[in-house]
């Protein structure tokens, strides 16, 4: 009913704006005074995490993108990690290194391929299984050894938003738990936990860009293609931005690691190709800027979400700025403007935002 949407025109917008609250909810009881409260994962989790020498992550759709971000986080603390979509994983010959933890990520916990992959994994010699899931009574939760629940609440919009950012929060917690086993000291843990604590506030600030993004969306409604670029964790964030745009606005959108631009997509860049990029203040900034220079040289129109502290040396671009965002949580914060861009573009195009054509909230058949 309309009432459930409160003051919002669509469930998707409501869910985008719920993110500060559901992120805080997902952190509740899991961090305290600069410490990860690992007991909150349960006894079985400790056993698996103690033994895990590596991680294989399997998921579909938006949840797969969360897994791709997590790979950077896990390898950063010394944990080998691979990430794959469930439909590929389940039908190929996979080599499982000793003591590998099998991790699934799913909003619904009922996605057919993800469930089948979990069932298959039990015959493959994995250490055990852990799921990051939003539905406590789901098959995935029932069938996994350990469940780290996201607390996004019911997600109605087919295009996933709050489930994704809470998955990333849960995966940050998992990365912290593994980092502890790989020499993270108390000081470092304190910093990282504080970064998580400040996340709801930072997401709040990103949400305040909504009106400006609505304005920006005018430039997209007439376009037929869009290119999202990113490097490091912002590459999967770009993938998620492109997925959101294509799912609900039906604009063909593609994400590319910015460093690969010259190996193909640059051929498509002209004045009709909007190029969207998150530009956090991180060590890859200069590299990304030089990739964006290439886009400008071909007349591509740039739409940037950038850190207010950085200087952008480009002849022409549209940008909206975010304040000083913590490095460990920046992929979560920079996802917000991309969700809003897709949303406002779709509204301008008049598509069915909450129920895009041909798509289902949960793909329970293969």
85: closest CA among 57, 108, 43, 112?
Answer: 57
Residues 6+ apart with CB under 8 A from 1: none
Q: Which is nearer to ligand G6P, 100 or 114 (CB)?
A: 114
Q: Which is nearer to ligand G6P, 310 or 363 (CB)?
A: 363
Closest distance to ligand G6P from the beta carbon of 203 (Å): 19
Q: Should residue 160 be labelled a site residue for ligand G6P when binding is judged by CB under 6 A?
A: yes
Q: Which is nearer to ligand G6P, 297 or 359 (CB)?
A: 359
Cα gap 329→307, rounded to integer Å:
13
164: closest CA among 73, 75, 68, 62?
Answer: 62
The separation between CA 321 and the C-alpha centre of its own chain, rounded to angstroms, equals: 20
Residues 6+ apart with CB under 8 A from 32: none
Closest distance to ligand G6P from the beta carbon of 106 (Å): 3
Q: Which is nearer to ligand G6P, 111 or 121 (CB)?
A: 111
The stretch among 30-38, 145-153, 175-183, 358-366 that binds ligand G6P (CB under 6 A) is 358-366
The one among 158, 206, 288, 340 contacting ligand G6P by CB under 6 A:
158
Cα gap 273→276, rounded to integer Å:
10
Cα gap 352→11, rounded to integer Å:
11
Q: Should residue 107 be labelled a site residue for ligand G6P when binding is judged by CB under 6 A?
A: yes
Helix (H, G, I), strand (E, B) or coil at 144: coil
Cα gap 196→173, rounded to integer Å:
9
Closest distance to ligand G6P from the beta carbon of 104 (Å): 8
Is 361 a residue of the active site? yes
The stretch among 12-20, 23-31, 108-116, 287-295 that binds ligand G6P (CB under 6 A) is 108-116
Write out the DSSP string of 180-203. HTTT--HHHHHHHHHHHHTHHHHH
Site string for ligand G6P, 62-101 (x = CB under 6 A): xx--------------------------------------
Cα gap 328→128, rounded to integer Å:
27
Site string for ligand G6P, 4-43 (x = CB under 6 A): ----------------------------------------
Closest distance to ligand G6P from the beta carbon of 158 (Å): 5
Structure tokens at 12: 């998707």
Question: Residues 19, 203: contact at Cβ < 8 Å?
Answer: yes
Closest distance to ligand G6P from the beta carbon of 342 (Å): 12
The one among 21, 24, 212, 363 contacting ligand G6P by CB under 6 A:
363
Question: Residues 87, 61: contact at Cβ < 8 Å?
Answer: no
Q: Which residues pair with 53 in a beta bridge?
A: none
The one among 16, 60, 238, 330 contacting ligand G6P by CB under 6 A:
60
Closest distance to ligand G6P from the beta carbon of 6 (Å): 22
Active site residue ranges? 361
Residue ranges binding ligand G6P (CB under 6 A): 60-63, 106-108, 111, 114, 158-160, 359, 361-363
């Amino acid at each position: 009913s309309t009432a459930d949407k409160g003051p919002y025109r669509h469930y998707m917008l409501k869910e985008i704006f719920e993110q500060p609250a559901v992120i805080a909810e997902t952190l509740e009881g899991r961090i305290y005074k600069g410490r990860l409260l690992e007991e909150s994962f349960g006894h079985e989790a400790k056993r698996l995490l103690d033994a895990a020498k590596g991680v294989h992550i399997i998921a579909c759709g938006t949840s797969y993108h969360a897994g791709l971000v997590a790979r950077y986080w896990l390898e950063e603390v010394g944990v080998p990690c691979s990430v794959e979509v469930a439909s590929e994983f389940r039908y190929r010959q996979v080599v499982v290194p000793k003591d590998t933890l099998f991790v699934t990520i799913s909003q619904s916990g009922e996605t057919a391929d993800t469930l089948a992959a979990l069932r298959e994994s039990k015959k493959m010699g994995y250490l055990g299984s852990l799921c990051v899931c939003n539905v406590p009574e789901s098959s995935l939760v029932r069938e996994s050894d350990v469940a780290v629940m996201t607390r996004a609440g019911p997600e109605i919009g087919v295009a996933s938003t709050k489930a994704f950012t809470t998955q990333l929060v849960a995966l940050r917690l998992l990365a912290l738990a593994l980092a502890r086993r790989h020499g993270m000291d108390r000081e470092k843990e304190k910093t990282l936990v504080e970064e998580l604590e400040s996340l709801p506030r930072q997401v709040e600030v990103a949400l305040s860009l909504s009106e400006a993004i609505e304005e920006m969306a005018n430039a997209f409604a007439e376009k037929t293609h869009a290119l999202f670029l990113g490097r490091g964790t912002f590459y999967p964030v770009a993938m998620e931005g492109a997925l959101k745009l294509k799912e609900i606005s039906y604009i063909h959108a593609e994400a590319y690691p910015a460093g690969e631009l010259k190996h193909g997509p640059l051929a498509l860049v002209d004045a009709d190709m909007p190029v969207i990029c998150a530009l956090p203040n991180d060590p890859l900034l200069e590299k990304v800027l030089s990739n964006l220079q290439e886009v400008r040289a071909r007349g591509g129109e740039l739409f940037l979400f950038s850190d207010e502290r950085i200087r952008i040396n480009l002849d022409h671009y549209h940008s909206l700025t975010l304040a000083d965002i913590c490095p460990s949580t920046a992929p979560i914060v920079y996802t917000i403007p991309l969700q809003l861009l897709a949303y406002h573009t779709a509204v301008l195009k008049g598509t069915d935002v909450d129920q895009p054509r041909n798509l289902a909230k949960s793909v329970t058949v293969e």
